[in-house]
Amino acid sequence: MTYKKVLTIQDISCVGQCSLTVALPIISAAGHETAILPSAVLSTHTAGFTGYTFRDLTDDIPPIEAHWQKEGISFDAIYTGYLGSTKQIEYVKDILQKMGAPGCVSFVDPAMADNGKLYPAFDDGYVKGMQTLAFAADFILPNITEASFLTGIEYQERYDEAYIKKLVAALHERGAKTVILTGVGYTPDTNGVVVSEKSGLSYYKHKRIPKNSHGTGDVYASAFVGAYMRGKSAYDAARIAADYTVKTIENTIDDASHWYGVKFEPLLPFYLEQLA
């Protein structure tokens, strides 16, 4: 089995089952060494909790990178998610350019918006910065809202295949390489993922669970990175990540007290079976 060194850059939400508390266990379970660079530390995530603390770690990033360079450290993959500031995006771009081992694969989850709206911490400047990061990556994993912010195409809650194709084409025109567009469903009880590579576009359809779950974008992206770095094709990694994410939602849906995330941990054995 290949053993890769994956760096993931995103926040630590101490409580809330998103970002690093999801990426680290999932990518490690996939069998990879997982290094982390926390973009910020929050007491909880920002979707539903109020009064959370926020410690921006932007100024720590250049000295961390400098130390890694001095130690001769490099990574086989770099996966970025929720970042701490617009200025930090420039530092993260530098890491993408300089810290990759030969053949390094970069994955950018723009992690800035959902359901037509930016997350509370972000503004237009952040979106502009994220465009330059996303379009420099080998893979981007936006949802429809994020794709609309990245392209400037108006967000539509109701859409058809033509709208999705227009979004994906606009992402490529602006420089995106492989696009993994999540949360694309054409019927009331289905959802799915569009995989758009140089070789063409494919679609993996799966069941829609009628509940807005938090943190599932991070579960999905982490499972995708873990699977792709295990040698799966982009389509197979997209399918495996989707099947796993659906199961984590199903495992949580009946527990109203667990509104802030999904119980992804008990399903890790299922994820690993798909990677075999």
Under the rule (CB under 6 A), what is the footprint of ligand PXL? 11, 13, 18-19, 42, 45-47, 82, 111, 119, 215, 217-218
- Rounded to a whole number of angstroms, the minimum distance from the CB of residue 142 to ligand PXL is 12
With b for 16 or more beta-carbon neighbours within 10 A and e for fewer, the 241-267 pattern comes to bbbbbbbbbebbeeeeeeebbbbbeeb
Q: Which long-range contacts (CB under 8 A, 24 or more apart) does 125-129 make?
A: 125/86, 126/85, 126/86, 126/89, 128/86, 129/86, 129/89, 129/90
- Rounded to a whole number of angstroms, the minimum distance from the CB of residue 42 to ligand PXL is 5
User: Cβ distance 146 to 110 under 8 Å?
Assistant: yes
The residue among 18 and 181 lying less far from ligand PXL, judged by its C-beta, is 18
- Rounded to a whole number of angstroms, the minimum distance from the CB of residue 144 to ligand PXL is 15
d(CA 126, CA 117): 13
The residue among 52 and 135 lying less far from ligand PXL, judged by its C-beta, is 52
- Rounded to a whole number of angstroms, the minimum distance from the CB of residue 166 to ligand PXL is 26
- Rounded to a whole number of angstroms, the minimum distance from the CB of residue 267 to ligand PXL is 18
The residue among 196 and 222 lying less far from ligand PXL, judged by its C-beta, is 222
**Measured at CB, which residue is nearest to ligand PXL?**
46
The residue among 141 and 179 lying less far from ligand PXL, judged by its C-beta, is 141
The residue among 178 and 213 lying less far from ligand PXL, judged by its C-beta, is 213
